[in-house]
Chain A
Amino acid sequence: MITAGIDCGSKNTKVVILEGNNILSTASVLSGFDQEESAQQALNSALEKAGINREDIKHITATGAGMEAIFFANDNVTTVTSDGRGAFFFFPSARTIIDIGAEEGLVVKLDENGKVKDFGINEKCAAGAGAFIEAMSRALEIDIEKMGELSLKSTKQIPMNAQCTIFAESEVVSLIHQKTAKEDIIRAVHDAIADRNTSMVRQIGIEKEVALIGGVANNIGFVDAMNKNLGFEILIPKDVVSPEYVTALGAALVAQDKIGG
């Protein structure tokens, strides 16, 4: 049975088309002001890549911040559920899932069967999410894709006092004026956001294994900072699919459960 999961994120809308346990295709489109249109575009792109038609999909489940706007979906499911389902599929040993997106962060606790037993959401403050790194990359005039690797080249740890994205931008500008090495500044940026997120995870309670999903998981500098903060290595889905698709994958799996596929 072929199903599709649509993750309507605040920055990107992601689609995963699934058949049984096989991922047929993935697609990602910038979330525009018309959520449904973006979702449609992403779905079309994924259909094309998979070489199938819309009718071949038996069930579509939407998830993510903008899920309620997707009228063509059969149903929707909370991001917490999708995160849990998707991460567990990759790592059956995972008990704590951290999902960091563009505008919010989630922590989901699972039991040994992959069922959600607790969760926490960190939203409405950009400083704990991807928007923070993005704003800093603009202030530093560096490509966001390069932020991670540059942070690993840092030789000195410097403190970052500002806890707000807006104030941090001004702080970064002053650090640049003081001729601080960009790599050190970038590392401070990653340390700050990792610090905030590990605190939130500690509030919910850490149980190994810990998995990290969501777009920011692609940032090796951030992952390194998280590992250092936690004192062990976190699991990141790679190879099969990129971490930002795990939520959509989770939704597609939920769709399968629904139709018994």
Chain B
Amino acid sequence: MSKTESEKEYWRWTESRYTNPDINWKDGDIISAGVDVGSVSTQAVIMVDGEIYCYSSMRTGSNSPDSATNAMDWALEGTGLTLDKIQYVVGTGYGRVNVPFAKRAITEIACHARGANFIYGPEIRTVLDMGGQDCKAIRCDNRGKVTAFLMNDKCAAGTGRGMEVFADLLQVHINDVGEMSLQVDKEPEPVSSTCVVFAKSEAVGLLRKGWPKEKVLAAYCSAMAHRIVTLLLRLGIEEKFAITGGIAKNIGVVKRIEEELKLKAPESSIDPQLAGAIGAALFAKALIEKEHKKA
């Protein structure tokens, strides 16, 4: 791979921020916030009385505390609201202990369940979150409380990082992987190695045999989808079923999961990558209310 090619950023996705024009934070009673510091992306969500007021989503840098601060600053940009006026901040995600201004750290499993409940509604009973370096299957009740979970953050297979490795190997932009993997006439045999390291060698062999990139991507997405489904089945799936996290945007993996499960995952206007931070902000609100009760 020549130097210029290795500099091409196949993994780069779009960062974003948003302010809700219908809310004036000064009229609000409870102002809470959640910051989800993931291994790949960081989100900050600020809520006024349990409604989303503003948020930001950006790439996590090499320094977790900085990422949390940057995400918060960007989310608050232009709102007039400042950090000191936020009554409670909860940190979550891989870097949750590194959110300097958070009052408490809560595991992303609990936050994702709450967040999915908010985004997709109280009918959700099973959440599949596919992140940068992990894959979580969560069962919850109608209030978004966790009743069972299974997380895999040990093995790259079935995570965003595994997908990035493949995108790099085949020199395909990560945004295009899903679409390309669906451009096959017949579904090929899935890659036999679960391990990304071995799957890479297998892929090289397939390319040498003359397989087009689309077919290799299909084989990999197929293996990934199958692996994720077995993880889900171990936990047991109860409808409604929702998918959150970065890989939710990979239509090649999502479609295959839906096909194997014979279930359709709902869509929402709220970015699924925000689920963790939303859940954290909701917990922050609940903790403020708990404190008020005690007082």
Determine direct contact between A and B, CB below 8 Å.
yes
Which residue of A33, A103, A167 contacts B205 across the interface (Cβ within 8 Å)? Answer: A33
B196 contacts A by Cβ under 8 Å? yes
CB nearest neighbor in A for B153: A167
Produce 1/0 per residue, B235-269, CB < 8 A to A.
Answer: 00000000000000000000000000000000000
State the total of A-B contacts with C-beta under 8 angstroms: 38
B56-77 CB contacts (< 8 Å) to partner A: 62
Cα separation A33 to B207 with both chains bound (whole Å): 12
Contacts of A177 in B (CB 8 A): 62
Q: Provided the pairs A33-B205, A177-B62 are in contact, do residues A167 and B156 lie with their beta carbons within 8 angstroms?
A: yes
A contacts with B: majority SS? helix
Q: Provided the pairs A124-B193, A131-B197, A174-B62 are in contact, do residues A164 and B205 lie with their beta carbons within 8 angstroms?
A: no
Q: Are A164 and B156 in contact (CB under 8 A)?
A: yes
A163-188 CB contacts (< 8 Å) to partner B: 163-167, 170, 174, 177
Cα separation A61 to B258 with both chains bound (whole Å): 48
Q: Are B62 and A165 in contact (CB under 8 A)?
A: no
A16-64 CB contacts (< 8 Å) to partner B: 33
CB nearest neighbor in A for B193: A124
B205-232 CB contacts (< 8 Å) to partner A: 205, 208
Least Cβ–Cβ distance between A9 and chain B, in angstroms:
13
Least Cβ–Cβ distance between B261 and chain A, in angstroms:
25
Contacts of A193 in B (CB 8 A): none
Contacts of A33 in B (CB 8 A): 205, 208
Cα separation A163 to B154 with both chains bound (whole Å): 6
Least Cβ–Cβ distance between A68 and chain B, in angstroms:
15
- Residues of chain B at interface, number, CB under 8 A: 17
B151-209 CB contacts (< 8 Å) to partner A: 154-156, 161-162, 165, 193-198, 205, 208
Cα separation A166 to B198 with both chains bound (whole Å): 11
B133 contacts A by Cβ under 8 Å? yes
Least Cβ–Cβ distance between A35 and chain B, in angstroms:
12
Q: Are B154 and A164 in contact (CB under 8 A)?
A: yes
A135 contacts B by Cβ under 8 Å? yes
Least Cβ–Cβ distance between A225 and chain B, in angstroms:
21
Cα separation A212 to B198 with both chains bound (whole Å): 24
Least Cβ–Cβ distance between B52 and chain A, in angstroms:
31
A77-134 CB contacts (< 8 Å) to partner B: 103, 124-126, 131
Contacts of A103 in B (CB 8 A): 198
Contacts of A163 in B (CB 8 A): 154-155
A131-163 CB contacts (< 8 Å) to partner B: 131, 135, 163
Least Cβ–Cβ distance between A64 and chain B, in angstroms:
16
Q: Are A166 and B197 in contact (CB under 8 A)?
A: yes
Cα separation A131 to B156 with both chains bound (whole Å): 15
Q: Are A135 and B197 in contact (CB under 8 A)?
A: yes
List 9 contacting pairs A-B, 8 Å CB cutoff, sorted by A: A103-B198, A126-B195, A126-B197, A135-B197, A164-B154, A165-B197, A166-B162, A166-B165, A166-B197
Closest 10 CB pairs of A and B: A166-B156, A126-B197, A163-B154, A165-B197, A164-B156, A164-B155, A166-B196, A126-B195, A177-B62, A131-B197
Q: Other than the known A166-B197, A167-B161, A170-B161, what 15 A-B pairs have Cβ atoms closer than 8 Å?
A: A33-B205, A103-B198, A124-B193, A124-B198, A126-B195, A135-B197, A163-B154, A163-B155, A164-B156, A165-B156, A166-B165, A166-B196, A170-B133, A174-B62, A177-B62
Task: Please list the residues of chain A having a beta carbon within 8 angstroms of any beta carbon in chain B.
Answer: 33, 103, 124-126, 131, 135, 163-167, 170, 174, 177
